[in-house]
């Protein structure tokens, strides 16, 4: 018999590698786990897809109604409800993905303690499953834009770049929380608080230009700032604030490295703690 | 050719009350510098070394808590060793439970793909074996029904047939055969035999010495985390049967964090008592044997019953005795201490050694609140005074039970 793959099992590895090759080898498992999440979610909720569509729409219209009547932001070039919805669909994805992902190991104890596969696959698959919500709500976004007479630009073809950044961001934040949640039980109580602050500190209801220029680059350390700016620039054909996007991208890269390092350090103990 | 080479493998668990499981406690402990004062190290595996040759089937036996499962978990890469090294050549598939990755909301068809992928199969592989898997499981009609509507037998059959069609070069199996009805167990065992005859390397942990003897040429006996014996199965099994069985009529746990149980209930002690209420390890065949369980309910709101299962030394289950008394059948248990006793009448068991497994379980929910396998053991002897089922017969008698049954003999000239 030919043995090509030799596995060496040793005490804790140095967490220098992400084990990317192994994750790529398990790409079908990512697909099946994401598919499972999607199937279960749409089976369990009676309203299914409708719920995914109406949640951001209703929330956006409410916010637009409340704020739009007495606040006027300078950087907003499109009708306010459209602007809010564009931020809301993105934020709801981050919110749902991080919330779901943080629970992924605690909620799947039987898988973690009974079978091996690269642990990183789990949070990635869950985030991927949540991405379907975002994709489903995009047509609504376009319909609303058409309704309000927003012009369509060629830059829209570049929106997938912003969505990819958002996906990476949600994954890495989810990855950290999923690991911390295994080890520390109070993390789940801190998380809603963290998410709320994060939402208010991100340009979801207001434009990037709302923050004074001298603070703007420091603020852009929050990767969601640059991601949303890029998203709206490509969606509405505005000129983006390249400096903000550059700072956010750099910060996202650093966050990715730190998150994966933390995860790799903690993952060996998952099966023993759970 | 060594497929598996294990060198000095050791695993330590930290147990203790001060294990902080929240950020707050960790920070507080750090500031007060009182981390791990009370922690104790428990070496679940201690310096284990052995080799498994290509195509060999190795049975792993030993008492509960001996370290068998930990060994399998390390070799399956679920947890890491603390020390030592294992080198494995080839693709590993491990079956540590039946139905790994099954989700109750999904249909049989969806679960075949999901579970297959989780166990390490490629999508193309699952598609090509799909019909075979369905045929083996005998659930064709229900393929598109969510598995939550399956009977437990159907669920097991489907789960096992997915697993059985996994074709790794090395298969690691933990007691999955201990579930299901007898005919299903036979089918599983047959499939396992095919797998090992097919030239694949198999590691097989079981309580059931019958199946180990049938499946494995070589066996490994682990006791308290160390290798006690390794060699041809017949030798290891007989060594285990002669030395490995010591009667433990009483087990108790002083530290609740080490006791079997979960968030709702913890076992405190299990004892074998004679009809005078004294702890005993040998019983007169004519006298009753009482199994006493003491446990605490630490979180209210659950309804559960206790059960005792009796096994012979080879792992064959004689019976399961559930508490079906009316007091706790339909009532949620309040917090507090409990004592439950089951009486095995005299003149029921045959002479021999018996192992007791106790559990607290939800009769409706099927939840397990605590479980202690082979927790106590006792032996039964017959003083042969003429009033047992033996009568005056002094020779060897077969059978695991020996009830006094009524005979009637009519005489016709």
Residue B208 has pLDDT above 90, yes or no: no
Nearest-CB residue to A111 (from B105, B118, B169) = B118
CB contact under 8 A, B78 and A8: no
Nearest-CB residue to B22 (from A33, A39, A185) = A185
Helices (H), B142-208: 152-164, 182-197
Task: Please check whether residue A14 touches B, CB under 8 A.
Answer: no
Nearest-CB residue to A186 (from B24, B83, B87) = B24
Residues of chain B with Cβ-Cβ distance to A10 below 8 Å are 80-81, 84-86
Chain A, chain B: beta-carbon pairs less than 8 Å apart: 118
Residue A69 has pLDDT above 80, yes or no: no
Length of chain B: 413
Average pLDDT over residues B237-263: 80
Bridge-based pairing state of the strands B201-205 and B170-174: parallel
Using alpha carbons, select from B176, B173, B197, B194 the residue that is nearest to residue B185: B176
pLDDT digits (tens, 9 = 90+) for A217-253: 999 999 999 999 999 999 998 888 999 999 999 999 9
Among A22, A34, A36, A268, most B C-beta atoms within 10 A, so best to mutate, is: A36
Residues of chain B with Cβ-Cβ distance to A111 below 8 Å are 100-101, 118
Q: Give the pLDDT of residue A116.
A: 87
Instruction: Tell me if B306 sits within 8 A of B299, measured CB to CB.
Output: no
Distance CA B79, CA B97 (A): 16
Q: What is the DSSP letter of A73?
A: -
Q: Give the pLDDT of residue B30.
A: 62
Distance CA B67, CA B9 (A): 11
Q: What is the dihedral sign for C-alpha B36, B40, B42, B46? A: positive
Residue B154's pLDDT band (cuts 50, 70, 90): confident
Residue B226 has pLDDT above 60, yes or no: yes
Average pLDDT over residues B157-179: 79
Q: Give the pLDDT of residue B212.
A: 82
Distance CA A267, CA A70 (A): 49
Residues of chain B with Cβ-Cβ distance to A180 below 8 Å are 23
Task: Please check whether residue A46 touches B, CB under 8 A.
Answer: no
Q: Give the pLDDT of residue A3.
A: 45
Q: Give the pLDDT of residue B351.
A: 85
Among A4, A6, A7, most B C-beta atoms within 10 A, so best to mutate, is: A7
Residue B277 has pLDDT above 80, yes or no: yes
**Residues 153..212 of A with a Cβ closer than 8 Å to B: which?**
180, 183-187, 190
Using alpha carbons, select from A61, A230, A233, A219 the residue that is nearest to residue A148: A61
Residue B179 has pLDDT above 60, yes or no: no
Among B71, B84, B105, most A C-beta atoms within 10 A, so best to mutate, is: B105
Distance CA B205, CA A133 (A): 44
Chain B nearest CA to A196, separation (Å): 20
Residue A75's pLDDT band (cuts 50, 70, 90): confident
**Averaged pLDDT of chain A:** 86
Distance CA B303, CA B265 (A): 11
Q: Give the pLDDT of residue B178.
A: 54
Chain A: residue nearest B98 by CA?
Answer: A114
Residue A2's pLDDT band (cuts 50, 70, 90): very low
Residue A74 has pLDDT above 90, yes or no: no
Residue B180's pLDDT band (cuts 50, 70, 90): low
Q: What is the ipTM, given to two decimal places?
A: 0.83
Average pLDDT over residues A249-260: 95
Instruction: Please calculate the CA angle A159-A133-A188 and round it to the nearest 5 degrees.
Output: 110
CB contact under 8 A, A5 and B85: no
CB contact under 8 A, A116 and B106: no
Instruction: Tell me if B344 sits within 8 A of B287, measured CB to CB.
Output: no
Instruction: Tell me if B346 sits within 8 A of B303, measured CB to CB.
Output: no
Residue B18 has pLDDT above 50, yes or no: no
Residue A115's pLDDT band (cuts 50, 70, 90): confident
Residues of chain A with Cβ-Cβ distance to B73 below 8 Å are 113, 271
Among A116, A179, A271, most B C-beta atoms within 10 A, so best to mutate, is: A116
Burial class (CB in 10 A: 0-12, 13-18, 19+), B392: exposed
Chain A nearest CA to B63, separation (Å): 20
Tokens read off for A270:
């998952």
Chain A nearest CA to B14, separation (Å): 10
Residue B210 has pLDDT above 80, yes or no: no
pLDDT digits (tens, 9 = 90+) for A140-168: 888 989 998 888 888 888 999 999 999 99
DSSP assignment string, A218-242 = HHTTSHHHHHHHHHHHHHHTPPP-H
Chain A nearest CA to B19, separation (Å): 11
Residue B177 has pLDDT above 70, yes or no: no
CB contact under 8 A, B96 and A10: no
Q: Give the pLDDT of residue A4.
A: 58
From residue B179, alpha-carbon distances to A66, B97, B151, B184, B210 in Å are 60, 10, 14, 9, 15
pLDDT digits (tens, 9 = 90+) for B65-104: 788 888 998 998 888 898 898 999 888 888 887 778 888 8
Residue A171 has pLDDT above 60, yes or no: yes
pLDDT digits (tens, 9 = 90+) for B328-353: 878 889 999 999 999 999 999 998 88
Average pLDDT over residues B374-380: 88
Q: Give the pLDDT of residue A180.
A: 92
pTM of the predicted model as reported, rounded to 2 decimal places: 0.74
pLDDT digits (tens, 9 = 90+) for A20-38: 788 888 889 999 999 998 8
Distance CA B265, CA B257 (A): 11
Chain A: residue nearest B74 by CA?
Answer: A9
The pLDDT > 70 percentage for chain B reads 90
Half-sphere exposure of B135 (CA within 13 A, CB side): 6
Distance CA B296, CA B200 (A): 46
Chain B nearest CA to A15, separation (Å): 14
Q: Give the pLDDT of residue A162.
A: 95
Average pLDDT over residues A60-87: 80
């Amino acid at each position: 018999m030919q043995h090509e793959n030799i596995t060496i099992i040793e005490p804790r590895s140095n967490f220098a590698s992400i084990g990317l090759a192994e994750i790529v080898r398990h790409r079908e498992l990512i697909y099946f786990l994401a598919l499972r999440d999607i199937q279960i979610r749409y089976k369990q909720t009676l309203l299914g897809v409708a719920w995914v569509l109406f949640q951001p729409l209703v929330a956006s219209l409410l916010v637009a109604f409340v704020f739009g009547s007495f606040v006027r932001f300078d950087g907003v070039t499109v009708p306010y409800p459209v602007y809010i919805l564009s931020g809301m669909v993105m934020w709801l994805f981050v919110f749902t993905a991080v919330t779901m992902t943080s629970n992924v190991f605690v909620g799947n104890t039987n898988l973690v303690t009974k079978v091996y596969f690269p642990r990183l696959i789990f949070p990635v698959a869950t985030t991927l499953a949540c991405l379907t919500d975002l994709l489903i709500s995009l047509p609504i976004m376009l319909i609303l834009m058409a309704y309000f007479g927003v012009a369509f630009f060629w830059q829209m073809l570049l929106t997938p770049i912003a969505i990819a950044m958002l996906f990476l961001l949600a994954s890495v934040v989810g990855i950290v929380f999923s690991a911390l949640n295994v080890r520390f039980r109070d993390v789940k109580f801190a998380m809603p608080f963290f998410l709320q602050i994060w939402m208010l500190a991100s340009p979801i209801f207001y434009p990037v230009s709302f923050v004074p220029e001298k603070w703007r680059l420091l603020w852009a350390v929050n990767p969601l700032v640059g991601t949303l700016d890029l998203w709206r620039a490509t969606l509405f054909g505005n000129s983006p604030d390249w400096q903000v996007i550059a700072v956010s991208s750099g910060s996202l890269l650093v966050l990715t490295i730190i998150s994966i390092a933390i995860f790799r350090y903690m993952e060996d103990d998952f099966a023993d703690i759970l | 050719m060594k497929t598996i080479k294990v060198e000095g493998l050791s695993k330590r668990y930290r147990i203790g009350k001060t294990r902080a499981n929240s950020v707050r406690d960790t920070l507080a402990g750090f500031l007060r510098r009182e981390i791990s004062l009370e922690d104790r190290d428990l070496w679940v595996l201690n310096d284990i070394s052995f080799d498994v040759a290509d195509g060999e089937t190795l049975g792993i036996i030993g008492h509960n808590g001996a370290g068998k499962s930990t060994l399998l978990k390390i070799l399956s890469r679920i947890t890491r060793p603390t020390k030592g090294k294992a080198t494995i050549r080839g693709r590993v598939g491990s079956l540590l439970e039946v139905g790994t990755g099954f989700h109750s909301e999904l249909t049989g068809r969806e679960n075949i793909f999901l579970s297959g992928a989780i166990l390490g199969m490629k999508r193309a592989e699952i598609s090509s074996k799909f019909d075979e898997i369905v045929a083996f499981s005998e659930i064709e009609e229900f393929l598109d029904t969510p598995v939550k509507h399956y009977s437990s037998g159907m669920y097991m059959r489907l789960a096992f047939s997915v697993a059985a069609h996994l074709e790794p070069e090395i298969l690691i199996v933990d007691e999955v055969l201990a579930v299901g009805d007898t005919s299903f167990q036979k089918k599983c065992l047959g499939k396992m035999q095919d797998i090992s005859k097919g030239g694949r390397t198999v590691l097989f942990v079981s309580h059931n010495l019958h199946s180990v003897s049938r499946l494995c040429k070589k066996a490994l006996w682990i006791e308290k985390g160390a290798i006690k014996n390794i060699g041809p199965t017949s030798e290891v099994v007989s060594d285990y049967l002669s030395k490995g069985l010591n009667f433990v009529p009483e087990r108790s746990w002083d530290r609740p964090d080490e006791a079997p149980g979960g968030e709702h209930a913890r076992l405190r002690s299990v004892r074998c008592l004679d009809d005078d209420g004294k702890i005993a390890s040998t019983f007169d065949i004519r006298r009753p044997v009482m199994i006493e369980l003491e446990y605490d309910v630490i979180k209210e709101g659950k309804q559960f019953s206790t059960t005792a299962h009796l096994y012979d030394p080879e792992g064959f289950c004689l019976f399961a005795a559930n508490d079906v008394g009316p007091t706790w059948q339909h009532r949620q248990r309040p917090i507090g201490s409990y004592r439950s006793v089951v009486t095995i009448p005299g003149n029921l068991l045959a002479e021999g050694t018996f192992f007791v497994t106790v559990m607290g379980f939800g009769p409706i929910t099927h939840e397990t609140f605590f479980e202690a396998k082979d927790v106590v053991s006792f032996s039964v002897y017959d003083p042969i005074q003429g009033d047992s089922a033996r009568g005056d017969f002094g020779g060897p008698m077969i059978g695991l039970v020996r009830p006094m049954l009524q005979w009637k003999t009519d005489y016709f000239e």
